[in-house]
């Protein structure tokens, strides 16, 4: 394979001159530039990206780690990628399927300077393992986490969930069942706290409904529909963990002939496209702005800048499902 030394020898110039031509940096006469470029084309020379990265200390690549894809993950990745590409970065995705070893591949690439930074959307390893790699490059988390070494982009979901519950109460619902996402997440704990305080505030009767956690998929909503149909004493409203669960619940019940919201009020969370298509009441969760904030945090750490982050706010979106 051709290298910069061979190009310099054939062109009768120094390797520094060849480097200036390749990098378009510094003065080189037109005649010399054309001669060097001709030899580069003839030899089909391609600069070694790894060598350039090591020399400059940056790869211009950011890794995104997540367990799997979902509509909300796709929305985040799409938005983050757009911001990153505008600023000259390339994105590498690491889908771990919950396997810690696959996540470690990305973390080891950060250690070996093959990545400049990492965004962790849903983790596979314990936090202390991920934190141990923060010394090698910035890592930003898209889960609620209180750790000075792992900055996170999150929104306190207590207020958002409280807003949704108060809305359902204002619509006349009293037997409200809440369905929660990841059991280990701080956001789930805040949602549970909001529901507990809401019940106390309104002095609502405690119904013997099961406690549902780790429900994030359409099929979870479909299973929830089967449970609801089998009950004699049914909830009159269900506040779902996200729009996907709500979509599965709503679609399954309508197939069985039930009316939404006549027989059951259904509310989602995230305000994804499926919520719009199904006319689903939901809580708007500003994914694009969170993705931009994640990028800005990494950019500030990489460049030692202080770009201001977006102010993040929830809002309730009322549609026909309630």
Sequence spans of domains, the chain: 4-47, 59-155+288-312, 157-284
pLDDT digits (tens, 9 = 90+) for 1-20: 578 888 889 999 998 898 88
Please state, in angstroms and rounded to a whole number, the distance separating the CA atoms of residues 210 and 177: 9
Sheet holding 139-141, edge to edge: 90-95, 61-66, 117-120, 139-141
Beta strands in 172-314, from DSSP E residues, in sequence order: 176-178, 237-239, 265-267, 282-284
Domain 4-47: CATH superfamily is lambda repressor-like DNA-binding domains (1.10.260.40)
Q: Which fold has domain 59-155+288-312?
A: Rossmann fold (3.40.50)
| pLDDT beyond 90 at 244 | yes
Mean pLDDT confidence for 261-265? 98
Mean pLDDT confidence for 265-286? 95
Over the chain, what is the mean pLDDT?
Answer: 91
Which DSSP symbol is given to 175?
S
Please state, in angstroms and rounded to a whole number, the distance separating the CA atoms of residues 59 and 34: 29
Q: Would the CATH topology of 59-155+288-312 be identical to that of 157-284?
A: yes
Cβ atoms of residues 119 and 107 within 8 Å: no
pLDDT digits (tens, 9 = 90+) for 38-88: 998 888 887 765 555 555 557 799 999 999 888 788 989 999 999 999 999
Please state, in angstroms and rounded to a whole number, the distance separating the CA atoms of residues 193 and 301: 34
Q: pLDDT-based confidence at 156, cuts 50/70/90?
A: confident
Mean pLDDT confidence for 274-278? 96
Q: What does the pLDDT read at residue 24?
A: 78
Q: pLDDT-based confidence at 321, cuts 50/70/90?
A: very high
CATH of 157-284, one of 3.90.650.10, 3.40.50.2300, 3.10.310.30, 3.40.47.10: 3.40.50.2300
pLDDT digits (tens, 9 = 90+) for 116-148: 999 999 999 999 999 999 999 999 999 878 888
| pLDDT beyond 70 at 315 | yes
Q: What φ, ψ does residue 307 adopt, rounded to 5°? A: -65, 135
- Share of the chain residues as helix, strand and coil, in percent rounded to the nearest 5: 50, 10, 40
Listed in sequence order, the residues at least 6 apart from 306 whose beta carbon sits closer than 8 Å to its beta carbon are 300
Find the length of the chain.
322
pLDDT digits (tens, 9 = 90+) for 182-199: 877 778 899 999 999 999
Q: What does the pLDDT read at residue 49?
A: 56
Q: What does the pLDDT read at residue 26?
A: 76
């Amino acid at each position: 394979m051709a290298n910069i030394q061979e190009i310099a020898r054939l062109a009768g110039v120094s390797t520094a001159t060849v480097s200036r031509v390749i990098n378009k940096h510094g003065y080189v006469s037109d005649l010399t530039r054309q001669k060097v470029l001709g030899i580069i084309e003839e030899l089909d020379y391609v600069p070694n990206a790894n060598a350039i990265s090591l020399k400059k200390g940056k790869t211009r690549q950011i890794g995104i780690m997540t367990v799997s894809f979902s509509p909300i993950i796709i929305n985040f990745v799409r938005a983050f990628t757009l911001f990153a590409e505008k600023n000259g970065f390339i994105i590498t995705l690491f889908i771990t399927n919950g396997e810690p070893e696959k996540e470690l591949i990305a973390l080891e690439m950060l250690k070996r300077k093959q990545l400049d930074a990492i965004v962790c959307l849903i983790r596979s390893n314990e936090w202390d393992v991920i934190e141990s790699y923060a010394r090698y490059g910035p890592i930003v988390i898209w889960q609620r986490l209180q750790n000075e070494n792992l900055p996170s982009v999150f929104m306190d979901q207590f207020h958002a969930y409280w807003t949704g519950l108060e809305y359902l109460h204002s619509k006349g619902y009293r037997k409200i069942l809440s369905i929660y996402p990841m059991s280990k997440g701080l956001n789930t704990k805040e949602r549970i706290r909001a529901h507990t305080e809401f019940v106390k505030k309104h002095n609502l009767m405690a119904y013997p409904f099961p406690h549902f956690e780790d429900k994030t998929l359409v099929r979870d909503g479909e299973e929830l529909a089967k449970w609801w149909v089998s009950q004699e004493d049914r909830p009159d409203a269900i506040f779902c963990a996200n729009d996907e669960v709500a979509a599965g619940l709503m679609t399954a019940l309508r197939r069985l002939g039930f009316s939404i919201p006549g027989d059951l009020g259904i509310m989602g969370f995230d305000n994804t496209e499926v919520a719009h298509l199904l006319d689903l009441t939901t809580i708007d969760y500003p994914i694009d702005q969170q993705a931009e904030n994640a990028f800005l945090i990494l950019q500030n750490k990489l460049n030692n800048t202080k770009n201001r982050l977006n102010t993040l706010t929830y809002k309730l979106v009322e549609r026909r499902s309630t």
